[in-house]
């Protein structure tokens, strides 16, 4: 068997394995049949005979394992979404998703990166707008878990920096930090689900959540709109003085900043002239 | 190359266990006496969080070997050189004694099917695989260790039996082999060949270590599920393989329905009884009372 023949065989095999239906349906499908005709398979020219299983049944072991394995992998990252949709609904979603976004990375932890965006335009999905935001939160948790290693900035080492100098300081956020703005109270749903006491899908209500890694654990913190605006400005590279101005008058911005720093949300700082 | 095949083959690390997330706390807190751990390479790649920190700590106290599932060595797609570079970086970080993967392909046309898919045992496929293994070994600068797969079908018109294919591949490339005894049994059952005869055809001078695991039996076939203890027939084969090889590092895999660490450890230690019929598990506990082998 030459390399081109091997490539043809692998393309055919892959076509059968990833087919959303079953192996026998895949074998008859024109795109698969065009690579290796079903009749050739039936004549035993491709697969060695097995007294207990015909060709389709042998291939079905691989076809069935493919979806089951990837559903299980995605359920690990999107457990709350799977809870909302139910086992069958989630499996159907994954099958549609894989047809458009098959894995192209050696690591399964990248498989679900496009799922929130896919859900957002998946017509007919129950509670679609909420589920898309829930998926976004779960993806943020997965990304925070896998974010590159970092060393948090120890702000207290800058004790001799004058207060006015701080106002010009620009911060670099740690690579795990993600700021999320939702139209539903997503974290208010997610937390009870995680604790094993799921609640009903909520009605729309604006909410803001920060997701980040601290001490090798992933944290979620609910923010007010003002806190979200201040931290977004800092993450966007605005000097501290300008970022704090995004808050409403009288809000405890200094405490917020100390809290951000204590949570290790920054990795470096540059002071302006 | 940083390690020769002879060095790898001669390194009997003892009895090891596949490192799994569910056992992290027990291992970190209790430091159980284990000869070595095998990590699933991809679990520590493309991530910078807890897994790599835990690995750093475990690697400071135990010997580590690496086992991957995404090298895609048998594919007709180009080699993923970025993946190989990251694999090598991981080895440098954790000091793994060797890097292993499977004789299979996992995807084509840029897609990863995340399964260990079978290759035809033909002259053409062998030539292709030899070329790829040599290229990988040049990048990794060491012998690659490759595992015999579990398969659920065979291609028509093979030029070689599986042991012949392994021998040709190993001789031509100088690669190491990982002999999964459970896979031999599963394939022998699925494809109606004699498992002991298979073992007698293995090129033992290339075998670096053994895998043991449980599998699931269906009416029409056996599936390599790693979800239970090793069955008696596989232990019998392991005893034969141990005699034929003269002794090699042995690793127990348990990947689904994983029990607590002690249960996995106890199952792994049964291997000592089969390596030395005079040994008992009780004797083994006393004999392995020290901390794991230092790197």
Mutate to test the interface with A, among B120, B161, B188 (most CBs of A within 10 A): B120
Q: Tell me whether residues B107 and A103 touch, CB distance under 8 A.
A: yes
Tens-place pLDDT, residues B245-262: 999 999 999 999 999 999
- Measured CA to CA, the distance from residue A187 to residue A215 in angstroms comes to 21
B293 inside domain:
no
Taking CB atoms and an 8 Å limit, are A47 and B120 in contact across chains? no
Q: Say if CB A187 and CB A197 are below 8 A apart.
A: no
Closest chain A CA to residue B125: A1
Q: How close B223 gets to chain A, by Cα (Å)?
A: 9
Q: Is the pLDDT of residue B292 over 80?
A: no
What's residue A155's pLDDT? 76
Mean pLDDT, residues B55-78 taken together: 98
pLDDT at A160: 80
- pLDDT tops 90 at residue B284: no
Residue B32 domain flag: yes
Residue B86 lies in a domain: yes
Q: Tell me the per-residue pLDDT of B160-207, one tens digit each, with 9 for 90 and over.
A: 999 999 999 999 999 999 999 999 999 999 999 999 999 999 999 999
Pick B295 or A262 by higher pLDDT: A262
Among residues 50-69 of chain A, which lie with CB inside 8 Å of chain B?
50-53, 55, 57-59, 61-62, 65-66, 69
Write out chain B residues lying below 8 Å of A65, CB-based. Answer: 115
Q: Let me know if residue B197 belongs to a domain.
A: yes
Residues of chain B positioned with their CB less than 8 A from the CB of A62: 115, 117, 152
B57, B152, B188, B225: which to substitute to probe chain A, counting the most A Cβ within 10 Å?
Answer: B152
Task: Specify the pLDDT at position B290.
Answer: 33
Q: Which residues of chain A have pLDDT under 50?
A: none
Q: Is B269 exposed, middle or buried (0-12, 13-18, 19+ CB in 10 A)?
A: buried
In a domain, B179, yes or no: yes
Confidence class of residue B281 from pLDDT cuts 50, 70 and 90? very low
| Separation of alpha carbons B287 and A156, rounded Å | 51
Judge whether A185 and A205 are in contact, CB under 8 Å. Answer: yes
Ordered by where they begin, the domains of chain A are 3-111 (no CATH), 141-270 (3.90.930)
- Can you point out the beta strands (E) in chain A? 170-173, 178-182, 207-214, 217-223, 266-270
- Best probe of the B interface among A3, A5, A6, A110, by most B CBs < 10 A, is A6
- Residue A1 is predicted with a pLDDT of 61
Give me the number of domains chain B comprises. 1
Q: Is the pLDDT of residue B291 over 60?
A: no
Structural domain of B47:
5-287
Share of chain B above pLDDT 70, in %: 93
pLDDT, position A72: 97
ipTM: 0.92
Closest CA of chain A from B54, distance in Å: 10
Which of A20, A107, A211 has the most B C-beta neighbours within 10 Å, making it the best mutation to test the interface with B? A107
Q: Quote the CA–CA distance of B289 and B276 in Å, as a whole number.
A: 18
Residue A195: which residues within 8 A CB-CB, separation 6 or more?
none
- Does B125 fall in a domain? yes
Structural domain contains residue B84: yes
Chain A 24-53, CB below 8 Å of chain B: which residues? Answer: 44-48, 50-53
Is the Cβ of A106 closer than 8 Å to some Cβ of chain B?
yes
Across chain B, mean pLDDT equals 93
In a domain, B292, yes or no: no
pLDDT of B288 higher than 90: no
Q: What percent of chain B has pLDDT over 90?
A: 91
- Please indicate if any CB of chain A lies within 8 Å of the CB of B158: yes
Q: Smallest CA–CA separation between B119 and chain A, in Å?
A: 9
Query: What is d(CA B122, CA B102) in angstroms, rounded to the nearest whole number?
Result: 17
pLDDT band, very low/low/confident/very high, at B80 (cuts 50, 70, 90):
very high
Predicted pLDDT at B126:
98
pLDDT (0 to 100) of residue A157: 78
State the CB neighbour count (10 A cutoff) for residue B287: 12
CATH number of B275's domain = 3.20.20.150
Assign B275 a pLDDT band (cuts: 50, 70, 90): confident
Rounded distance between C-alpha atoms, residue A153 and residue A265, angstroms = 8
By Cβ distance, the residue of B70, B190, B223 closest to A106 is B70
By the CB < 8 Å criterion, does B107 face chain A? yes
- Shortest distance, CA B102 to any CA of chain A (angstroms): 14
Nearest Cβ partner of B108 from A11, A149, A176?
A11
Asked if B29 reaches chain A (Cβ–Cβ under 8 Å), the answer is no
């Amino acid at each position: 068997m030459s390399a081109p023949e091997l490539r043809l065989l692998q393309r055919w095999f892959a076509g059968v394995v990833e087919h959303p239906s079953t192996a026998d349906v895949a074998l008859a499908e024109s795109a698969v049949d065009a690579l290796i005709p079903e009749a050739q398979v039936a004549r035993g020219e491709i697969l060695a005979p097995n007294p207990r299983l015909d060709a389709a049944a042998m291939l079905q072991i691989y076809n069935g394992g493919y979806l089951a394995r990837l559903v299980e992998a995605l359920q690990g990252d999107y457990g709350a979404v799977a809870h909302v949709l139910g086992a069958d609904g989630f499996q159907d979603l994954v099958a549609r998703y894989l047809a458009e976004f098959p894995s192209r990375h050696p690591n399964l932890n990248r498989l679900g990166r496009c799922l929130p965006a896919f859900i957002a335009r998946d017509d007919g999905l129950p509670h679609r707008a909420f589920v898309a935001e829930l998926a976004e939160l779960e993806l943020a948790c997965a990304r925070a878990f896998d974010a590159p290693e970092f060393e948090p900035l120890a702000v207290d080492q800058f004790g001799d920096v004058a207060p006015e100098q701080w106002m010009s300081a620009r911060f670099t956020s740690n690579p795990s930090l993600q700021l999320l703005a939702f139209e539903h109270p997503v974290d208010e749903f997610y937390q009870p689900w995680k604790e094993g006491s799921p609640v009903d899908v909520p009605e729309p209500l604006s909410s803001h959540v920060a997701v980040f890694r601290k001490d090798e654990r992933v944290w979620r913190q609910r923010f007010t709109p003002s806190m979200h605006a201040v931290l977004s400005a800092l993450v966007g590279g605005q000097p501290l003085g300008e970022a704090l101005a995004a808050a409403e008058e009288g809000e405890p911005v200094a405490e917020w900043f100390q809290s951000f720093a204590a949570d290790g949300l920054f990795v470096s700082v540059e002071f302006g002239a | 190359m940083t390690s020769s095949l002879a060095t790898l083959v001669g390194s009997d690390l003892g009895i090891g266990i596949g490192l799994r997330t569910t056992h992290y706390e027990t291992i970190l807190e209790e430091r159980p006496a284990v000869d070595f751990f095998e990590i699933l390479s991809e679990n520590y790649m493309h991530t910078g969080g807890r897994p790599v920190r835990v690995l750093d700590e475990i690697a400071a106290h135990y010997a580590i070997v690496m086992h991957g599932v995404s090298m895609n060595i048998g594919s007709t797609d180009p080699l993923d050189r970025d993946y190989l570079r990251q694999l090598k970086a991981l080895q440098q970080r954790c000091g793994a004694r060797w890097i292993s993967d499977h004789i299979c392909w996992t995807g084509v046309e840029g897609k990863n099917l995340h399964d260990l898919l079978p290759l035809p045992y033909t002259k053409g496929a062998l030539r292709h695989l030899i070329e790829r293994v040599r290229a990988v070994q040049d990048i990794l600068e060491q012998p690659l260790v490759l595992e015999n797969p579990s398969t659920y079908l065979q291609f028509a018109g093979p030029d070689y039996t599986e042991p012949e294919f392994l021998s040709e591949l190993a001789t031509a490339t100088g690669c190491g082999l990982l002999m999964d005894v459970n896979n031999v049994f599963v394939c022998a059952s699925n494809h109606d060949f004699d498992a002991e005869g298979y073992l007698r055809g293995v090129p033992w001078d290339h075998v670096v270590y053994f895998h043991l695991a449980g599998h699931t039996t269906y009416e029409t076939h056996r599936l390599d599920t790693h979800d239970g203890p090793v069955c008696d027939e596989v232990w019998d084969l392991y005893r034969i393989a141990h005699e034929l090889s003269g002794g090699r590092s042995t690793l127990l895999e348990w990947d689904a329905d994983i029990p607590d660490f002690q249960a996995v450890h106890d199952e792994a230690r049964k291997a000592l009884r089969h390596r030395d019929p005079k040994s008992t598990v009780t004797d083994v506990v006393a004999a392995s009372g020290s901390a794991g082998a230092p790197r």
